């Protein structure tokens, strides 16, 4: 069991808080503030219990001088102050006397936020290569460390693992958001309520090989949709027309079909078009009757009904990846149908493993109907593969 924020005595302490403020921005304006909102419970807990919150995050990648201006995280500090309803002192630096003075002068219940941790990657990749000196320096700025950034938990960076290694034994805890990820995504892997049904979509089998293999061992059924269905269909000897396929993964797909016999469920129909265009004429055909010269861009209504029946009675459902080209309205129906079927389940723990499926559920207004929507794309995939995540491993264990 990992320590969580409530296990720390934060009163009067300088609490370093690694959050995930890697929000999408356009022309210096935040276009989706979900990650800021998700971090609020942990920040508020520290402030309401007399701690001093030193908040920091990465924002995109910083490789050039131009990136410094594009990846300036100060607009996030402004928005954080607005949603918190209290001042946030922003320090335009990642180290140095100004930052140290601001932290040392903090009073209980105050917030300091410093510049994008990836600024440290400009010359050498000090942040993302977990430079030991940088991790030690950041750790020296605080008394305690709360890691609430699950989105980077699959990476050993100076701002997560580096601080945890240097701040002292028993002084690192998971924030509330990280705690939820460990409980729900980690729970699927370690001890799920059964039946466990996994629904996997997206474009490539290669992106999800580890997840499919691990879930074939863990889940009662694995339902596969999205463009990667065509690699499996071709492995079964079916004609797939011009549909997206990974020919170098056909043999692997055959092995997975063999391993998942009776467990791995494929679509029974697909929505086909002649060109990759939302305005193109489309129709639905059986996967056994895909003609030449067309491509499948979604699962059909028959598959939605099949998948809906398969998840009935499930106690745990994990969904990762859309069923079709969700960005195009004519090929979003499969994703919508599956999303609705999961959202309307009763008595089940329903989890979205981040990425496009999360965006779909939020866009469709079903976010509140899921037990948990992961904030980590790559991190949740690696967790579902059964890999240990450095950012999670570095959190102190409960005594």
Q: Which residues are catalytic?
A: 35, 204, 355, 378
How far apart, in Å, are the Cα atoms of 396 and each of 2, 343, 384? 6, 35, 22
User: With contact defined as beta carbons under 8 Å apart, do 271 and 328 qualify?
Assistant: no
CA 275 to chain centre: 31
The Cα–Cα gap between 245 and 247 comes to 6
Cis before 367? omega within 30 = no
Angle at 264 between CA 263 and CA 266, to 5 degrees: 140
């Amino acid at each position: 069991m990992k320590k969580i924020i409530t296990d720390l005595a934060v009163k009067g302490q300088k609490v370093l808080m690694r959050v995930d403020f890697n929000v999408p921005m356009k022309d210096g304006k935040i276009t989706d503030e979900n990650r800021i909102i998700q971090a609020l419970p942990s920040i508020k807990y520290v402030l309401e219990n007399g701690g001093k919150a030193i908040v920091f995050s990465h924002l995109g990648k910083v490789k050039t001088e131009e990136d410094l201006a594009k990846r300036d995280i100060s607009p996030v500090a402004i928005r954080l102050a607005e949603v918190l309803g209290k001042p946030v002192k922003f320090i335009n630096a990642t180290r140095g006397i100004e930052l140290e003075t601001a932290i040392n002068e903090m009073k209980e219940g105050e917030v300091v936020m410093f510049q994008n941790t990836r600024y440290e990657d400009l010359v050498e990749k000090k942040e993302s290569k977990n430079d030991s000196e940088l991790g030690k320096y950041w750790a020296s700025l605080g008394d305690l460390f709360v890691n609430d950034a699950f989105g980077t938990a699959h990476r050993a960076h100076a701002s997560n693992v580096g601080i945890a290694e240097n701040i002292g034994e028993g002084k690192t805890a998971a924030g509330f958001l990280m705690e939820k990820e460990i409980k729900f995504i980690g729970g699927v892997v370690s001890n799920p309520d059964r039946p466990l049904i996994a629904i996997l979509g997206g474009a490539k089998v290669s992106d999800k090989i580890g997840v499919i293999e691990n879930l074939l061992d863990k889940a009662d059924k694995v339902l596969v949709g999205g463009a990667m269905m065509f690699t499996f269909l071709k492995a079964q000897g079916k004609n797939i027309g011009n549909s997206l396929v990974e020919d170098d993964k056909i043999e692997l797909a055959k092995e997975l079909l063999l391993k998942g016999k009776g467990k791995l469920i494929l679509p029974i129909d697909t929505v086909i078009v002649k060109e990759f265009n939302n305005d193109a004429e489309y129709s639905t055909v059986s996967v056994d009757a895909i003609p030449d010269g067309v491509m499948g861009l979604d699962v059909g209504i028959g598959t939605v009904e099949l998948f809906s029946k398969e998840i009935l009675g499930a106690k745990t459902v994990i969904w990762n990846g859309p069923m079709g080209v969700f960005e195009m309205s004519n090929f979003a129906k499969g994703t919508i149908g599956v999303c609705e079927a999961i959202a309307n389940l009763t008595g089940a723990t329903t989890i979205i493993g981040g990425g496009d499926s999360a965006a779909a559920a939020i866009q469709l207004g079903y976010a509140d109907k899921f037990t948990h929507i992961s904030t980590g794309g790559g991190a949740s995939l690696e967790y579902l593969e059964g890999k240990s995540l450095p950012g999670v491993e570095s959190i102190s264990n409960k005594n």
